[in-house]
Amino acid sequence: MSTPQDILQSVFGYESFRAPQGEIIQTVIDGGDALVLMPTGGGKSLCYQIPALVRPGCGVVISPLIALMQDQVSALRQLGVRASFLNSTLDAATTREVEEQLQAGQLDLLYIAPERLTQERCLNLLERASISLFAIDEAHCVSQWGHDFRADYLQLSLLHQRFPDIPRIALTATADARTRQEITDRLDLGDAQKFTAGFDRPNIRYRIALKHNPRQQLLAFLRQEHPGDAGIVYCMSRNKTEEVSHWLGQQGIDALPYHAGLPAATRASHQARFLREEGIIIVATIAFGMGIDKPDVRFVAHLDMPKTVESYYQETGRAGRDGQAADAWMIYGLQDVIKLRQMMASSAGSEEHKRAEQHRLNAMLGLCEITSCRRQALLNYFDEALPEPCGNCDTCLEPVNTWDGTEAARMALSAVYRTGQRFGVNHLIEVLRGSDNDKIHQFDHHLLPTYGIGKQLDNNQWRSVFRQLVARAYLSVDLERFGALRLEEKCRGLLRGEDDIQLRRDPVKTRSGKQQTRTPLAADIDVALWEALRDCRRQLAEEQGVPPYVIFHDRTLQEMCTSLPRDPAQLGSITGVGERKLDKYGAQFLQVIREHAGVAQ
């Protein structure tokens, strides 16, 4: 029997495990259950793939995304792993063939959608087969508190009941304490070992700014910093994804929409193009991304604020899976908060669920408004400490300018109180700035002590004050009164003169200077060789109908550029070049390197 280390090197082409991969793998090999929290791009799949290759029988992977199973299986087959899948895309004959391979012990890994797994016919099939392990991917889907709730996952505790002697490993990239507990309870993993890898993704630069002209802000970001790069743009609504992708296309940018309302064939086509072509941008709702294994996504942009820190972390984590520099860029406004709170108020969830979601939204808004290191705040949310500021987020690179907003905040809170907590931001600003209009006179607000006392601040400055007071829970938004602001208990100290408050000073306009474009190529890499290797990879990928990264990751090609291997032994020592890929592709890539060396000489 091969050891995990042997398989890591010979099959996957890596020299060593990342912590705590080795410990997780050994736990499962020994027959133990495991609950794994590991950041996107942290190597979760190896934690069940290697045990499935070591233990006798076939590893069964429960995956929520039918559209991605084909690519996952294709990638494994490239490595010489006997992998297949069972889902509704297969015809009856192909389904029977896969089932016969399972029964005959001819599969190492089998991917199954949860909807199929819970059917009695499928369970009977598995009971007749030799199963090495069950891997429950995207395990946060079992949680009603998670943002990707999937009802079929709720039945997966049956694995422990029907197959008590087969080890189970549940994996997710994000889960706060409450979600982790629900995963444990619903999957009956009380005795499982818990593994939590560090959540920090230091290669991702976090940047959050205010909306003022969203499309132009996005266009400037794409043109100045990511021309020709693959990326994801997230929007709150389906209509907006289609509008933005169409508009980007008019600007000469290759963008495709993706949301659950599109025909299945269209979604599959757009996803396949994103995975297999270079430089494609997907404009999507949160329906897109879970399980995406594209390593060279150089940015994730949000045109609307996500509703939870978990959503934000998971979505931004789809950038830079190859470890190279990537951007998490977001713009937001108070209107985002109002829309999200309206969505929560109209949901069918319990009051407890709504309160929990409200708490999570407040945490997300707090991350947006924070004036200290964003990475420290983000990691702290997941109970992980970062001793020093990261130096790679906007608040570290361009420290926030703050001002003493105590007096302005008191004026704002007083205006809310004296107008009866019945009006939204626009009317409150008109009161503070002494506007003379029909609505002011209709409610006699020109007679209030707060009328006209805030003329020293303009409309945008007052919007900033109100936004930050909402973000810090001094005010809340009354959704039943169409966005009216209400006082919260926290504001008493400010109104009484017992507390003061520092507010961030919003920039009057965005900087006109271009951001420096960051490229994933190191300075010592020969660009001509890099492009030649990519052309070779692209041709092989097109011939086999797989994404280019399934052949080799960018990181592997870059290492070829720097080490310039001249023979199979040297090429085989490069990260990501396992024995199967060396045999299959080594000659082609070595030929490219030799030809380039001949030209260079």
| Per-residue pLDDT reduced to its tens digit, 201-234 | 999 999 999 888 899 999 999 999 999 999 999 9
Residues 175 and 530: their CA atoms lie apart, in Å, by: 38
Residues 6+ apart with CB under 8 A from 61: 48, 109, 110, 111, 112, 135, 137
Confidence at residue 582, expressed as pLDDT on a 0 to 100 scale? 92
Q: pLDDT value at position 423?
A: 93
- Greatest alpha-carbon pair distance for the chain in Å reads 87
The mean per-residue pLDDT over the stretch 267-290 comes to 86
DSSP states along 35-60: EEE--TTS-TTHHHHHHHHHSSSEEE
Residue predicted with more confidence, 519 or 124: 124
* % the chain with pLDDT above 70: 93
Helix (H) or strand (E) holding 267: helix 264-276
Lowest-confidence pick of 38-47, 197-206, 510-519 = 510-519
pLDDT of residue 480: 63
Taking only the tens place, the pLDDT of each residue in 180-192 is: 888 898 888 999 9
Look at residue 346 and tell me whether its pLDDT is greater than 90: no
Helix (H) or strand (E) run with residue 312 in it: helix 309-316
> 3-class SS at 373?
coil
By the 8 A CB rule, do 114 and 153 touch?
Answer: yes
Pairing assessment for the beta strands 168-172 and 34-37 based on DSSP bridges:
parallel
Give one word for 300, left, alpha or beta, with left for phi > 0 and alpha for psi -120 to 50.
Answer: beta
Q: Tokens 């694995």, residue?
A: 159
Domains, the chain, with CATH or none: 4-196 (3.40.50.300), 204-397 (3.40.50.300), 402-504 (1.10.10.10), 527-600 (1.10.150.80)
Q: How far apart are CA 326 and CA 577, in angstroms?
A: 24
| pLDDT tens digit sequence for 374-383 | 999 899 888 8
Question: Is pLDDT above 80 for 348?
Answer: no
Q: Give phi and psi for 168, each to the nearest 5.
A: -125, 140
Q: Which of 149-153, 225-229, 230-234, 490-494 is the least confident region?
A: 149-153
pLDDT of residue 367 exceeding 50 = yes
Of 340 and 601, the one with more pLDDT: 340
Angle between helices 579-600 and 527-544 (to 10 degrees): 140
Residue 473 has pLDDT above 80, yes or no: no
Q: How far is CA 492 from CA 406, 429, 448, 484, in A?
A: 13, 21, 20, 19
Give 511-542 pLDDT, tens digit per residue. Answer: 443 333 334 566 678 888 988 898 899 889 88
CA dist., res. 230 & res. 238, Å (int): 21
Closest CA to 303 of 213, 393, 398, 396: 213
